[in-house]
Copies of this chain bind each other. A is one copy, B any other.
């Protein structure tokens, strides 16, 4: 039997958690020895490995499982592309300046921080339970601390409504809020000026002349859209299909302060799923329709609430809460991916965008929000972008970005059609011929029928916009009823876009995985699932003595062959300290080699969370740990295969 572990003996301690990640170099401020740059972080060895494993899982879960077409497009992008996409005009945040210091703040963040502080002060004044950690932390950090001050009930209600709808406000509305509620810079208590737009794209210039403006992409999406025709061709001209890309993007955030949750450079994973606008069903929707998810829909938020409800995705689509099956299918796939890598499903919800929040062209949009010490954070967006992107790029470049589909049944139509005698037309009307042709071709069916009748009588007159009249006879034009057969349907596909911020997922995953041993709050553990843990197995020889080397090498080689990533820790410190270090690094299993290992060819297997130890022959233990890492068995099953280690074997030097 595996031991039972109490992971919630100690409350989550953000300071201890941050210190652990920093000490173990999961990540650290970039350019730290130069004083750092806000919003830029470097990943160290465990952070890089964790990120690589998350990406690997993402590739398997989405690209391989769904047969998506992977792309790798450039970050540097000429200005014209983002002029077309709307980013040059609209990809901006509202910033306000402190009227005295000139410090720049994001307007919506200012509103959020100040109102949350006031609400926290109110709760304290009312003697309610201690404010949740988010406000606690804010108050410690900010110069403008929350004052314990009771608010009128209707003020509390008003603040809560504002916060629930915060993403719905325009810049001028945010300015209005600052004036009305006397919101000042919490660091200085100074007033702030009117909100101004700041474009979040980093700008540069391409080539030696300095004349070609370029931007660093703020998302990978445009690189997909611009390659649409090649992708469609690669997919033999058929939709639906999806392209996928994992890569770096950049946003020149105004005042990033939230660690990995708001950075200026980040790795994204984006999917663009191209679908027939007339048929957004999904062939695999039936596989997921009964899966229940936590939803926070648009109507609830617009009513000023943030109450969620649990519903199967099938019901949500049936009721029109989620716009279509394909969107619903991806929401579930996102959910399954996040839970599979270790996100706590109880701290995961899907929030629908409100009307003002959504891009004007989008049909529907849901964010996967993950709860963490700072509140709920958007980690994945899932939007139905309709035909917007392909349409605007097509209009701008003159290149059709469409699907041409052979119709099973050709569509047959009959209509009245002008037949011209070009020779007579030219002879009679010279340069007016084009105008006349245009006038007649633009007529609707009833008008053409009228014309037909008049021509049958001998002649008719058409009139141009500027009032010029032209007399036409059957020598110039006749109107005939003709049959048309359309065998190709041409359409611009709609795009469903699941877009993942990998840094935010990585950070929240670390938070959800962190706890301290019941017996000792100083002993932190990262319970990362084996599938994403940076190192799967730690090999721990009792000491750095040479006599252990052959076994260390044998076990390393066998694990490598089994595809299990291991590391050896033969540093000059106790086994206990080495394991404690690797508990902080999230290494799920340890193999200890001691003096009994040499004659007996046995090793002990340690599980990180329980610290249980089992014993077995080298090959048995390697086979078991391989299955544990692959996820085909769990620790409970491993305990049935391998007897408990009774400690007798230890240190028999």
Q: Is the CB of B31 within 8 A of A226?
A: yes
Docked complex: A232-252 residues within 8 A CB-CB of B: 233-234, 236, 247-248, 250, 252
Cα A436 to Cα B402 with chains together (Å): 86
Interface segment out of the listed A70-78, A182-190, A468-476, A485-493: A70-78
A28 touches which one: B64, B230, B265 (CB < 8 A)? Answer: B230
Q: Which of B41, B72, B202, B208 contacts A198 (CB 8 A)?
A: B208
A218-236 vs B: 1/0 string, CB under 8 Å?
A: 0000010011011101101
A204 and B216: CB pair below 8 A?
A: yes
Tell me whether B71 and A208 are in contact (CB under 8 A).
no
Pick from B28, B31, B64, B565: contact of A560, CB under 8 Å: B64
Distance (whole angstroms) from the CB of A220 to the closest CB of chain B: 11
Cβ contact of A48, chosen from B48, B70, B265, cutoff 8 A: B70
- Residue on B nearest A30 in the bound complex, by CB: B74
Q: Mark A62-88, 1 if CB is under 8 A from B, else 0.
A: 001001011111111110110000000
- Provide the bound-state CA to CA distance between A397 and B439, in Å: 76
Does the CB pair A230–B25 fall under 8 Å?
Answer: yes
Instruction: Tell which of A32-40, A377-385, A610-618 binds the partner.
Output: A32-40
Complex interface: chain B residues within 8 A of A203 (CB): 204-205
Which label, helix, strand, loop or mixed, suits the secondary structure of the A interface?
mixed
Q: How far is the CA of A51 from the CA of B247 in the complex (A)?
A: 13
Q: Is the CB of B76 within 8 A of A230?
A: no
- Chain B residue nearest to A67 in the complex (CB): B567
Contact: B32 with A226, CB < 8 Å? yes
Name the one of B80, B95, B565 contacting A208, with C-beta atoms under 8 angstroms.
B95
Complex CA gap A47/B229 in Å reads: 16
Chain B residues in 8 Å Cβ range of A452? none
A418 within 8 A of B: no
Greatest chain B CB density within 10 A among A31, A51, A223, A571 is at: A31
Candidates B70, B223, B264; contact of A45 at CB < 8 Å? B70
Closest to A396 in B: B34
Minimum CB–CB distance from A503 to chain B (whole Å) comes to 10
Interface residues on A, range: 35 or more
Q: Are A33 and B209 in contact (CB under 8 A)?
A: no
> In the bound complex, how far is the Cα of B43 from the Cα of A227, in angstroms?
10
A42 & B208 in contact (Cβ 8 Å cutoff): no
Please name 14 further chain A to chain B contacts, defined as beta carbons within 8 Å, in addition to the given A25-B230, A45-B70, A76-B216, sorted by A numbering: A25-B234, A30-B226, A33-B226, A33-B397, A37-B214, A42-B227, A45-B69, A74-B265, A95-B208, A104-B207, A206-B252, A247-B248, A248-B248, A563-B563
Complex A-B: 19 CB contacts under 8 Å: A25-B234, A30-B226, A33-B393, A34-B81, A37-B76, A37-B78, A40-B76, A41-B74, A42-B223, A42-B227, A43-B72, A44-B69, A48-B71, A49-B70, A75-B265, A204-B216, A207-B254, A248-B248, A563-B563
